[in-house]
Structure 1
Amino acid sequence: MQTYGKLNKVDERYKLKFERAYAYSVEEVWGIVTNPKHFTQWYPFATGEMELRLGGKIYFDDGEGSTYEGVITELAPPHIFAFREIDDLLSIELKTEDDGCCLVFEHTFDDASMSTSVATGWHRCLDALGMIIEGSPVEWPDNAASLRKTYKETFNS
């Protein structure tokens, strides 16, 4: 299951949600999602420095030479990994299914005008995560323009 992201307004903020299914156990996918080496391959600006504990820090590079930190706000291995990055909340939940697991990725943010760009970016990042989970080399296809068009139409933005 590869779905397009869905956008909802929740308490004056916007929540973007993706679901992806994998033919791997929750434990296998958890090990990839939370492994700093893999995290840097699919998560934008991640430096690879991560304190995997509640309240732990995740370090990011802003792309211009400065670093900043996120804070792990929820951690329930091997099912929930959530953190705050600046003012945004990000959550990954892994649910066991008969033939593997379902990954639910949510990003809560304030600026609705960014929804098309945010959805396009996460769609591509989750595609990269899927490649890692499947044991394939990460390749970033040139699909950003078509995804932006799809999300712009879907979100009417």
Structure 2
Amino acid sequence: MKDLIDELTAAHRDVQRREDDGTDLFAVRLRRTYPAAVADVWDAVTDPERLVRWFLPVTGDLRPGGSYQLEGNVGGDIVTCEPPRHLAVTWGAPQSVVTVRLTAEAAGRTVLELEHTVPAEFAGSGAGALYVGPGWDVSFLALGTYLRGVVVADPAAWENTLEGQHYSAGSIAAWSEVIGASGTATADEIAAAADTARAQFTPDLVATPGG
């Protein structure tokens, strides 16, 4: 369990409300440093043959202006692809955009920053981060595990194991704290969103007294 706690604290989380091109939106951001070169991390997050080993199978016209579909999950359009540092895609809907930026650090390390933006009229408040943040936390964990050379038979299925759900419970707590500090949601909004997130990401723990 300590290893999972260390993994949670390895990531920096942030929630902001801002205006982009006249659109009022909420931005959910997650940042982590990986012990791998930029080219390797970029390849891991864009090559379908590598994505399936830590994330999900992906199909589609995988080029700028094309589209993608994650197996059993969302699809969208590829808005920007500038190897090896900048990728932006719509995420399930045109208004939902996920942007990935990579920055090289010393000693062959790479900072990966993911930003998921949604217009305020759809998100409601910063508490909406609880609907996506825990899922991204699991993905960041899976990427780190993969880059260390650890093979997981079914990366997507791990999220539903008790170990995975305990990790998500820690993520929900972390995001709740970040949202509260950001001032982008009321305590009641955070509590309601956290309950929804627990039902989504930790169903077995919710159903188990003391879980």
Shorter-chain TM-score category?
A: 0.7 to 0.9
- Map residues 30-109 of structure 1 onto 2, 5 A cutoff: 30-43=42-55, 46-61=56-71, 69-85=75-91, 86=93, 87-99=95-107, 100-109=109-118
**Which whole-Å CA distance do the structure 2 matches of 1:3 and 1:150 have between them?**
10
Shift of 1:117: 2.8
Query: May I ask how many residue pairs the two structures share in their alignment?
Result: 151
**Which whole-Å CA distance do the structure 2 matches of 1:37 and 1:50 have between them?**
13
**Which whole-Å CA distance do the structure 1 matches of 2:113 and 2:178 have between them?**
19
Shift of 1:115: 1.2
Structure with the larger strand share = 1
Structure with the larger helix share = 2
Of 18, 23, 31, the match for 1:19:
31
Shift of 1:2: 2.1
- TM-score where L is the length of structure 1: 0.84
Note closer, same or farther for the CA distance 1:145–1:125 as it changes in structure 2 (3 Å cut): same
Instruction: Write out per-residue CA displacement over residues 76-102 of structure 1, whole angstroms, 9 at most, x where no aligned residue.
Output: 111111111212111111111112211
Amino acid at match of 2:175: Y
Are 1:154 and 2:178 an aligned pair?
A: yes
Aligned partner of residue 55 in structure 1, secondary structure: coil
Aligned partner of residue 12 in structure 2, secondary structure: coil
Note closer, same or farther for the CA distance 1:76–1:137 as it changes in structure 2 (3 Å cut): same
Note closer, same or farther for the CA distance 1:26–1:6 as it changes in structure 2 (3 Å cut): same
> For the aligned residues, what is the CA RMSD?
2.1
Shift of 1:61: 4.5
Percent identity of the aligned residues? 23
Say if 2:43 and 2:50, in contact at 8 Å, map to a contact too: no
**Which whole-Å CA distance do the structure 2 matches of 1:4 and 1:31 have between them?**
23
Instruction: Write out per-residue CA displacement over residues 13-67 of structure 1, whole angstroms, 9 at most, x where no aligned residue.
Output: 1111111112211111111110113334544xx542043311121113455xxxx
Aligned partner of residue 143 in structure 1, secondary structure: helix
Corresponding residue number in structure 1 for 2:135: 121
Are 1:28 and 2:77 an aligned pair?
A: no
Larger Rg: 2
Say if 1:93 and 1:103, in contact at 8 Å, map to a contact too: yes
